[in-house]
Amino acid sequence: MTPSQCRMARAALQIGVRQLAHKAGISSMTVTRFENGHSAGAPETVDALRAALESAGVEFIPENGGGAGVRLRKVGGIDSGG
pLDDT one-digit tens code per residue, 31-67 = 999 999 988 889 999 999 999 999 999 999 988 878 8
Q: Which residues, in sequence order, are bridge partners of residue 61?
A: 69
Distance CA 41, CA 19 (A): 18
Q: Has this prediction a pTM greater than 0.85?
A: no
* CATH number attached to the domain at 3-72: 1.10.260.40
Q: How far apart are CA 78 and CA 14, in angstroms?
A: 9
